[in-house]
Amino acid sequence: MDAVNLLDFDLEGLTAFCEKLGEKRFRATQLFRWIHQKGATDFDQMSDLAKSLRSKLQGIATLKTLPVISEHVSSDGTIKWLFDVGGGNAVESVYIPEDDRATLCISSQAGCAVGCRFCSTGHQGFSRNLSTGEIIAQLWHAEHALRQRLGTSERIISNVVMMGMGEPLQNYNALVPALRTMLDDHGYGLSRRRVTVSTSGVVPMIERLREDCPVALAVSLHAPNDPLRDELVPLNRKYPIDELLAACKDYLEAAPRDFITFEYCMLDGVNDSDEHARQLIALVKGRINCKFNLIPFNPFPASGLKRSDNARVQAFARLLADAGIVTTVRKTRGDDIDAACGQLAGEVQDRTRAHTRMLRQPVAVPVAMPTRGERQRSDR
């Protein structure tokens, strides 16, 4: 029988596991702290654990961290790790230090089945979901490697964004215990406001996350109307913008922040006109408390898309801001190591032929159309 990977458990799960071994709850807490707070991988290091428990764990349990294939350090301090998750798949995580925070961007899947047109992960197709242990091992590695490098026992990573490879809400069952471990005071002790799940809009799972583990929510919007969003984020055909916004609004009732962040990748001649900005304003104004984060597109050859120029991004941002919508333009970080947004590619044994499919279908830019909500309003 394979040894159980203890990184797969949140504290509740680890407690249940320890209870099956005849151990008390506080033993699980001790073990959890050794793993996540102290970065121990060897049960013999865990000096305050009863010897009897340590010997029970030997042989039946393990701490399966992820082998590092490569590490690249950018001139701006950004670090990108490529982790081997077996079977020819590798996933990436990116550490982004700033003056007032240190953020880790984590992957949730090997590849992604959503297939957004502007995303290199989407072009690679999908291989498999990561386990809870594989998601949390990215944080475990980054946190403890950085502490060692900086010679400190203080916590380094203050924020986590689930914005790496994959659609986290399509790997819900593995995601939630990983989030709980990040938030747990005996684990990484991160504030709910500082853990962000980014989704392309898996509506039923947004509703479940609100109940199970509300953290900050970012939504990859990228278009102000359904015909264009259908092209850019194919999941929109299943969960169109109106349903998505309704789910976001409900989410705010439980969310740790009082706004949703909408991510909007600026694509030259596709979604970046003044008319698109006006449609966005009409879509959200008075309907949902939100912020926009405009992301300069990071071009890659297979996408057939171009980055909007800086003046266009600024003009678009100004229109939104003038309408009273808080708008930021994301600084690109780690450009020199391909660690910027949408550039994470890892290695994926595609089981979906997404790459070939996308190459055959260039993005068709629909003429600007009213949103579904506007159509319904004018029909009345």
Rounded to whole angstroms, the Cα distance separating 269 from 271 reads 6
Tell me the DSSP string of 28-48.
HHHHHHHHHTS----GGG-TT
Q: What angle do CA 217, 199, 174 make, to 5 degrees?
A: 95
Quick one: which segment of 117-125, 134-142, 173-181, 314-322 binds ligand SF4 (CB under 6 A)? 117-125
Stretch that binds ligand SF4, among 50-58, 83-91, 161-169, 272-280 (CB under 6 A): 161-169
Q: How far is the CB of 260 from ligand SF4 (least distance, A)?
A: 16
Residue 114 lies near ligand SF4 (rule: CB under 6 A): yes
Catalytic choice (23, 92, 134, 231): 92
Q: Which is nearer to ligand SF4, 37 or 200 (CB)?
A: 200
Kind and range of the H or E run holding 106: none
The binder of ligand SF4 chosen from 196, 220, 236, 271 (CB under 6 A) = 220
Q: Is 92 a catalytic residue?
A: yes
119 binds ligand SF4 (CB under 6 A): yes
b/e code 136-165 from CB counts within 10 Å (16+ = b): bbbbbbbbbbbbeeeeeeeebbbbbbbbbb
3-state secondary structure of 273: coil
Radius of gyration of the chain (CA): 22
Whose Cβ is closer to ligand SF4: residue 169's or residue 290's? 169
* Contacting residue, 105, 116, 176, 219, with ligand SF4 by CB under 6 A: 116
DSSP structure class, residue 12: H
Q: Among 30, 200, 327, 343, which residue interacts with ligand SF4 (rule: CB under 6 A)?
A: 200
Cβ-closest position to ligand SF4: 122
Residues 167-186, interacting with ligand SF4 (CB under 6 A): 167
The answer to whether 203 contacts ligand SF4 (rule: CB under 6 A) is no
Choose between 37 and 308: whose C-beta lies nearer to ligand SF4.
308
Q: Among all chains, which residue has been given the structure tokens 């989030």?
A: 179
Q: Which phi and psi angles does 167 have, rounded to 5°?
A: -100, 105
Query: Which of 128, 142, 159, 144 shows the shortest CA–CA distance to 41?
Result: 144
How many CB atoms are closer than 10 A to CB 40? 18
Q: Which is nearer to ligand SF4, 116 or 174 (CB)?
A: 116
**Cβ 227 to ligand SF4, closest distance in Å?**
18
Is 236 part of any known ligand binding site?
Answer: no
Phi, psi of 295 (to 5 degrees): -115, 115
Contact between 112 and ligand SF4 per CB under 6 A = yes
Pair type for strands 290-296 and 326-329: parallel
Q: Which stretch binds ligand SF4 (CB under 6 A): 70-78, 164-172, 269-277, 367-375?
A: 164-172
Q: Is 77 annotated as a binding residue?
A: no
Is 198 part of any known ligand binding site? Answer: yes
- Which residues touch 129 (CB under 8 Å, ≥6 apart)? 108, 109, 110, 166, 170, 171, 174
**Chain centre to alpha carbon of residue 217:** 10
- Is 23 among the residues known to form the active site? no
Look up tokens 């260039």; give the residue: 362
CB of 199 to ligand SF4, least distance (A): 7
Residue count at the site for ligand SF4 (CB under 6 A)? 12
Feature table: binding site for [4Fe-4S] cluster? 112, 116, 119
Feature table: binding site for S-adenosyl-L-methionine? 166-167, 198, 220-222, 298
Feature table: binding site? 112, 116, 119, 166-167, 198, 220-222, 298
| Binding residues for ligand SF4 (CB under 6 A) | 112, 114-116, 119, 121-122, 165-167, 200, 220
Active-site positions read 92, 341
